[in-house]
Amino acid sequence: MLAEKYITAISTISSNAVSKNEAKVFENPNAGLPEFLLSVYQHFQLNYPKFYKMDNLSKLGWLASEVLLQDSFAGDSYQSEEVGVVLANANSSLDNDLKYFDTIKDVPSPSVFVYTLPNIVIGEISIRNKFKGEHAFFIQDTFDADFIEKQVSYLLDKNILQACICGWVDVLEQDYKAVLFLVEKNKKELSILFSAENMDKIFKDN
């Protein structure tokens, strides 16, 4: 029999606002993206100096993961290898690729080049939380909740993972959106069933 799976936390960052479990927890209406991301970092008092060297995609995904896990995730109840991350977006790392390409004309920057891969954001989330399990980054025209649901379900049903962060993290210049779901096997107070329909609805509401 397949294990029941629940969305035990949700975080979204879009349109200059941050939500946790579908309630707005922070907004900073008129800021451009870099200023906005910095204000999120400061508001939640995250104290993680590595944040400053990240590109916008990693900052966005990492911030969304911090909001997602804060007060919602008992990391101690899992082994490192039991937690994974499955993400998707449309623009890969193009936002940072453009910035790296600008440095080529002068002196190519290794510290910018390293962020020219979309899965680096998974690396950043994994380093912060010591997640050593399965992960994957998919490129999709638009968020394919059905596909993501099947990927994550396979990992949880086969006990390859016991918990998984999944969702969408996309940035291109001033356009951005992050929607992350924490999926676990134990039902919690506010949890909803892990399904493509539920993910799709929350994605479209934000």
Burial class (CB in 10 A: 0-12, 13-18, 19+), 76: exposed
Of 19 and 84, nearer to other proteins (C-beta) is 84
Instruction: Give the DSSP letter of residue 106.
Output: S
65 contacts 180 by C-beta, under 8 angstroms: yes
Of 64 and 121, nearer to other proteins (C-beta) is 121
Q: Can you give the binding site for other proteins, defined by CB under 8 A?
A: 80-81, 84-85, 90-92, 94, 97-98, 100-101, 104, 107-110, 113-114, 116-120, 122-124, 126-127, 129-141, 147, 150-151, 154, 160, 172
Tokens of 162: 């016991």
Query: Smallest distance from the beta carbon of 202 to other proteins, in angstroms?
Result: 22
Of 35, 60, 63, 36, the residue nearest 48 (C-alpha): 63
Of 137 and 203, nearer to other proteins (C-beta) is 137
Query: Smallest distance from the beta carbon of 132 to other proteins, in angstroms?
Result: 5
14 contacts 176 by C-beta, under 8 angstroms: yes
Of 4 and 22, nearer to other proteins (C-beta) is 4
